[in-house]
């Protein structure tokens, strides 16, 4: 932390700061973990020298690097130029013709692998105490996807038409999205936990006239009423003329009128012959909505060729996928998020490794469901989120300890910075200190991993996402675009185009420019603060707007949270600033405790003494608010904007429609 002179102290109204130039980090983490031999020996990237050589080549000669990588996939027609770049518009594999679905399915069949398992689906509910598992081979997938592609055509869907998908985590979701890809109809997938308003907004914004849904989906043994939500949404817009519903739960929600069609009925008559559309490399592959810091969600656009190559290659290297070594891969995300798009379906299937899809909750029927599934399917590569890891920690080691997790080789995280305590737990209890952790930094906008360890090559440090992926020119800069010094906080930017970069925000050119290309001239700004250490490792410090300035000192909220969570009593913590008479901005810490710890003023003092020890007295929390749970979006992100309102004792102004449990808010308000 910098000792900023009092004269430059920030005005009392400033609870956020974009002045990332002076952000500094003090939470020192020096534990280093070399790649375990069992992974390094057979890895695609098996030494740091190999990584560095390939990285240098990818940056110096991107056309050669990406051209060679793209040639490993199937193209109906080869590109004439690898890249055309006119800031902020990139065209990759220009003139090339290809298809995401062909590369996910047909290419494997062409090579004689049609009988191999592509998707392992496990339902939430059990049958007579046994897991309800369905395996789909590439042949099965081709048949089902082709049939559904013909169903879409029979409903008038043509190349370029946006198809809205709102389903649970069932194979039909994968089939529907791949069918869209097959005929070149961009999908717009809406996470099944979103409400009717979200559906209405996305259908309107994407100008979509067709919705694919389920009657309901299973979550903790209860039915999520997907079709009811669609019905409600469609009372608020008249854009949609066709709804196709798959009967998953068979609990009501029948097909009601001429608008609604039954999946099984349509599929029964459909032909299983549907060749892949030969798409232009820059044709729109899909839209996926992500929330901005303000206002309505942004429809992030990805195109066929670049997205395909980038997700294929990041999957291969980050998870070190080997089809001939019994790899079984499992990402616990929902397909409704970019993590599921890229790392359950589009990046994994072309790598010829079975991908596990799980329908339900991690604590159903018991809190060991994930570990039981790893044991059952002999999962080798496992990918989840820090928020899940912290929940597992809280639930205790007995659950994982009951299971044989020895099949695991690489374990990953994504979504937010992972605090060192959770990292160490993941490494010890899940990875048995023998699995590299890949902490992958990326975004909906980037399509795939941007900064990540290579599991067989990179020495990792808890809390750092380490070094950039091939072709990614990441840097930490000030607002003029100049690199800041080692260990100085700054703005994380990408200085060169990459194949997976977003091509725009659907229908909003200006917002595309303002959000990503105007903050630091010439570079893509991710919206995250970061620092780079003396080893070239990146440390994400949280969103730029999560920086708080306390009595003239810049604090990364992530760092205070890590310090809090490193106290033995704390399970999870979220830190926000609030207006403070003396300091300008005070620190409010929302804290959940581990079992067997009681809330008390004495504990507050102890926790604060610990934070002071870790980071310095300036980082001590002015308020510690104990909570049974933190308010999170359904994707597991802590809703910091909401916490800022609560800490300030203000009316809630932020949108709470994506909040998982509204009652948490009232409990917190009562204490703050
Ligand atoms: C934001 C993107 C990427 C898929 C899931 C989230 C944060 C993501 C990490 C990480 C630190 C991370 C960033 C980023 N983030 N991964 N490994 N370490 N922060 O996608 O909803 O588009 O969110 O998530 O703040 O900008 P998203």
DSSP secondary structure of 499-547: TTS--EETT-HHHHHHHHHTTTTTSEEEEEEEEE-TTS-EEEEEEGGGE
- Cα(416) to ligand 1 centroid in Å equals 5
pLDDT band per the 50, 70, 90 thresholds, residue 29? confident
Ligand 1 atom nearest to 418, measured from its CA: 18
Residue nearest to atom 2 of ligand 1 (CA): 443
State both tokens at 545. 């707007």
Centre of ligand 1 to C-alpha 74, Å, is 30
**Number of alpha carbons in the 13 Å side-chain half-sphere of residue 659:** 19
Q: pLDDT-based confidence at 486, cuts 50/70/90?
A: very high
pLDDT at residue number 654: 66
State the pLDDT at residue 581.
77
Report how many helices (DSSP H) and strands (DSSP E) the chain contains, helices first. Answer: 21, 30
pLDDT greater than 50 at residue 268: yes
From ligand 1's centre to the CA of 339, what distance in Å? 10
Which position has the token pair 């390939």? Answer: 54
- In this structure, the residue with its CA closest to atom 18 of ligand 1 is 417
3-state secondary structure 586-641: EEEEEEEECCCCCCCHHHHHHHHHHHHHHHCHHHCCCEEEECCCCCEECCCCECHH
Cβ-contact 455, 410 below 8 angstroms: yes
| pTM: predicted TM-score of the whole model, two decimal places | 0.85
**Residue 13 scores a pLDDT above 50:** no
pLDDT value at residue 366: 96
319 pLDDT exceeds 90? yes
Determine the Cα–Cα distance for residues 639 and 317; give it in Å rounded to an integer: 32
**DSSP bridge pairs for 494:** 474, 524
From 333, 415, 446, give the residue whose CB has the most ligand 1 atoms within 8 Å, as the site to mutate.
Answer: 415
Of 274-288, 327-341, 414-428, 639-653, the poorest mean pLDDT is in 639-653
3-state helix, strand, coil in the chain (%, to 5): 35, 25, 40
Q: Find where tokens 């079984």 sit.
A: 328
- Residue with the smallest CA separation from ligand 1 atom 24 is 415
Tens of pLDDT, residues 573-585: 999 989 887 776 7
CA 297 – CA 264 distance, rounded (Å): 33
Residue 443 Cα to ligand 1 midpoint, Å, equals 5
Pocket mutation for ligand 1, best pick of 20, 341, 443, 524 (most atoms within 8 Å of C-beta)? 443
Q: Are 385 and 352 in contact (CB under 8 A)?
A: no
Average pLDDT of the residues in 143-153: 98
Reply yes or no on whether the pLDDT at 253 is more than 70.
Answer: no
Res 641: pLDDT: 81
Pocket around ligand 1: residues whose beta carbon is below 6 Å from it? 290, 338-339, 414-417, 439-444, 465, 526-528, 540, 543
Q: Are 175 and 136 in contact (CB under 8 A)?
A: no
Q: How confident is the model at residue 652, as a pLDDT?
A: 77
- The 10s digit of each residue's pLDDT in 522-570 is 999 998 999 999 999 999 987 775 666 666 555 678 778 888 998 999 9
Closest ligand 1 atom to residue 452 Cα is 17
Mean pLDDT of 435-461: 97
Spatial distance between the Cα atoms of 93 and 142, rounded to a whole number of angstroms: 26
pLDDT at 629: 87
How many whole angstroms from its chain centre is CA 50? Answer: 28
What is the residue with the minimal CA distance to atom 27 of ligand 1?
443
CA distance 586 to 621: 7
- The DSSP secondary-structure symbol of 421 reads H
pLDDT, position 14: 28
Distance from the CA of 662 to the center of ligand 1, in angstroms? 24
- Are residues 121 and 141 in contact, defined by beta-carbon separation less than 8 angstroms? no
195: left (phi over 0), alpha (psi -120 to 50) or beta: beta
**Which of 241-250, 618-627, 633-642 has the highest average model confidence (pLDDT)?**
241-250
Query: Which pLDDT value is given to residue 26?
Result: 44
89-147 pLDDT per residue, tens? 999 999 999 999 999 999 999 999 999 999 999 999 999 999 999 999 999 999 999 99
> Which of 387, 416, 465 for mutating ligand 1's site (highest number of atoms within 8 Å of CB)?
416
Backbone angles phi, psi at 83, to 5 degrees: -140, 135
Q: Model confidence over 166-212: pLDDT tens digits?
A: 999 999 999 999 999 999 999 999 998 887 878 998 999 999 999 99
- Nearest CA owner, ligand 1 atom 5: 415
Q: Whose CA is nearest to atom 3 of ligand 1?
A: 443
Closest-lying ligand 1 atom to the alpha carbon of residue 540: 11
Question: Ligand 1, atom 8: nearest CA belongs to which residue?
Answer: 415
Atom of ligand 1 nearest to the CA of 442: 3
Task: Please tell me the least confidently modeled range out of 233-242, 265-274, 321-330, 618-627.
Answer: 618-627
Query: For residue 342, with 0-12 CB atoms within 10 Å meaning exposed, 13-18 middle and 19 or more buried, which class applies?
Result: buried
Q: Tell me, in angstroms, the distance from the centre of ligand 1 to residue 246's CA.
A: 32
Q: What is the pLDDT of residue 20?
A: 35
Calculate Rg over the CA atoms of the chain.
24
In this structure, the number of other CB atoms found within 10 A of the CB of residue 514 comes to 12
Average pLDDT over the chain, rounded to whole? 90
Rounded Cα distance, 165 and 541, in Å: 34
Residue of 341, 540, 541, 636 best suited for mutating to test ligand 1, as the one with most atoms within 8 Å of CB: 540
Q: What mean pLDDT comes out for the span 301-322?
A: 98
- Report the 10 Å Cβ neighbour count for 604: 17
Give 467 Cα–ligand 1 centroid separation in angstroms.
Answer: 15
Please state, in angstroms and rounded to a whole number, the distance separating the CA atoms of residues 448 and 446. Answer: 5
CA distance 415 to 393: 17
Token digits of residue 45: 């990237």
Q: If we measure between CA atoms, which residue out of 70, 78, 89 comes closest to residue 497? A: 89
- Residue 8 confidence (pLDDT) above 50: no
Angstrom distance (rounded) from CA 274 to CA 106: 11
């Amino acid at each position: 932390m910098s000792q900023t002179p009092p004269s430059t102290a920030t005005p009392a109204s400033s609870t956020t700061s974009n002045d990332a130039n002076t952000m500094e980090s003090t939470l020192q983490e020096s534990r280093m973990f070399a790649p375990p031999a069992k992974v390094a020996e057979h890895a695609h990237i098996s030494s740091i020298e190999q990584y560095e050589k390939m990285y240098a080549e990818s940056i110096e000669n991107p056309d050669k690097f990406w051209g060679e990588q793209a040639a490993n996939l199937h193209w109906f027609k080869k590109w004439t130029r690898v890249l055309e770049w006119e800031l902020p518009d990139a065209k990759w594999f220009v003139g090339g013709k290809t298809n995401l679905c062909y590369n996910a399915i047909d290419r494997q069949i062409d090579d004689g692998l049609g009988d191999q398992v592509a998707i392992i689906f496990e339902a939430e509910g059990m049958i007579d105490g046994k897991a309800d598992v369905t395996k789909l081979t590439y042949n099965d997938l081709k048949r089902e996807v082709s049939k559904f592609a013909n169903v879409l055509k029979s409903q008038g869907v043509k190349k370029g038409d946006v198809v809205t998908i709102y389903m649970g985590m069932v194979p039909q979701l994968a089939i529907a999205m791949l069918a869209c890809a097959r005929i070149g109809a961009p999908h717009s997938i809406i996470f099944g936990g979103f409400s009717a308003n979200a559906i209405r907004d996305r259908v309107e914004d994407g100008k979509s006239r067709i919705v694919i849904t389920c009657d309901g989906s299973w979550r903790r043994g209860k039915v999520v009423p997907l079709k009811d939500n669609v019905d409600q949404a469609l009372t608020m817009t008249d854009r949609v003329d066709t709804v196709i519903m798959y009967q998953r739960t068979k609990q009501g929600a029948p097909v009601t009128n001429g608008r609604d069609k039954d999946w099984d009925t349509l599929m029964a008559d459909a032909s299983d012959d549907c060749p892949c559309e030969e798409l232009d490399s820059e044709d729109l592959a899909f839209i996926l909505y992500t929330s901005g810091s303000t206002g309505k969600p942004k429809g992030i656009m990805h195109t066929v060729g670049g997205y395909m190559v980038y997700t294929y290659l990041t999957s291969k290297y980050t998870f070190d996928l080997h089809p001939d070594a019994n790899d079984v891969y499992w990402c616990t995300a929902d397909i409704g998020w970019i993590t599921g798009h890229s790392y359950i379906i589009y990046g994994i299937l072309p790598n010829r490794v079975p991908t596990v899809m799980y329908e339900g909750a991690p604590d159903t029927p018991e809190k060991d469901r994930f570990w039981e599934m790893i044991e059952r399917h002999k999962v080798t590569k496992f990918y989840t989120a820090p928020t899940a890891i912290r929940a597992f920690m809280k639930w205790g080691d007995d659950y994982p300890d009951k299971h044989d997790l020895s099949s695991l080789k690489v374990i990953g995280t994504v979504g937010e910075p992972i605090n060192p305590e959770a990292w160490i737990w993941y490494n010890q209890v899940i990875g048995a200190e023998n699995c590299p952790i890949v902490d992958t930094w990326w975004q909906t906008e980037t399509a795939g991993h941007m900064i990540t360890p290579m599991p067989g090559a990179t020495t990792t440090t808890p809390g750092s996402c380490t070094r950039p992926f091939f072709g990614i020119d990441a840097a930490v800069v000030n607002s003029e675009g100049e690199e800041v010094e080692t260990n100085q906080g700054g703005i994380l930017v990408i200085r060169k185009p990459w194949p997976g970069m977003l091509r725009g925000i659907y229908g909003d050119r200006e917002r595309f420019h303002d959000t990503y290309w105007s903050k630091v001239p010439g570079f893509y700004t991710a919206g995250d603060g970061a620092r780079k250490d003396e080893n070239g490792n990146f440390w994400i410090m949280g969103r730029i707007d999560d920086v708080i300035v306390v009595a003239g000192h810049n604090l990364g909220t992530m760092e205070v949270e890590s310090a809090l969570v490193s106290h033995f009593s704390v399970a999870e913590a979220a830190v926000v600033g609030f207006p403070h008479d003396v300091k300008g901005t005070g620190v409010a810490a929302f804290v959940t405790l581990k079992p067997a710890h009681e809330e008390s003023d004495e504990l507050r003092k102890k926790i604060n003494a610990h934070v002071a020890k870790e980071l310095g007295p300036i980082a001590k929390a002015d308020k510690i608010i104990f909570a049974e749970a933190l308010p999170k979006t359904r994707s597991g992100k802590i809703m910091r904007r909401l916490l800022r309102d609560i800490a300030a004792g203000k009316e809630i102004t932020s949108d709470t429609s994506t909040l998982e449990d509204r009652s948490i808010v009232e409990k917190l308000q009562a204490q703050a």
